[in-house]
Structure 1
Amino acid sequence: MRRAQAAVEYLFMLAAALVIALMVIRILMRLSKSISEQNERTSREIIKELNQTLNS
């Protein structure tokens, strides 16, 4: 009985660790996408400003 209880507790802890890991991965992927989009916008703005400066 004690071994079965220990096995079930281990499985619950493993499941909890997996859920937490998946949540962290999801947050990091969302953050990465946001940073990438910001980087793209900033690059476009810099290119626009440089073109305006060079054409003036």
Structure 2
Amino acid sequence: MLTVQQAVFTVEGLIGKVQQQKQLIHQLIQENEHLRHENKQLRKENEQLKYRVQ
């Protein structure tokens, strides 16, 4: 059985891991949004080039 001190230490460690995961998720969301925007721009460019080729 865990002592209170061990339990607190464990919970603090888990909180730290959760915070790291939240930061990683935030970074990945930002990267995803950037890539979606870039993809949208490339699709527009692609459409314009299609019309030039025809």
Same fold (TM over 0.5): yes
1:52 CA drift (Å): 2.0
Q: Deviations over 1:3-51 (max 9, x none)?
A: 1110110110010011001011111111111111101100100110111
TM-score, structure 1 normalization: 0.85
* Amino acid of the structure 2 residue aligned with 1:36: R
Pair 1:38 & 2:38 matched: yes
- Counterpart in 2 of 1:23? 23
Q: Distance in 2 between matches of 1:31 and 1:23?
A: 12
Unmatched 5+ residue regions in structure 2?
Answer: none
| Larger Rg, first or second structure (1 or 2) | 1
Unmatched 5+ residue regions in structure 1?
Answer: none
Q: Distance in 2 between matches of 1:10 and 1:42?
A: 47
* Amino acid of the structure 2 residue aligned with 1:32: N
TM-score, structure 2 normalization: 0.88
Which portions of structure 1, spanning 4 or more consecutive aligned residues, are displaced by more than 4 angstroms?
none
The RMSD of aligned alpha carbons is: 1.3
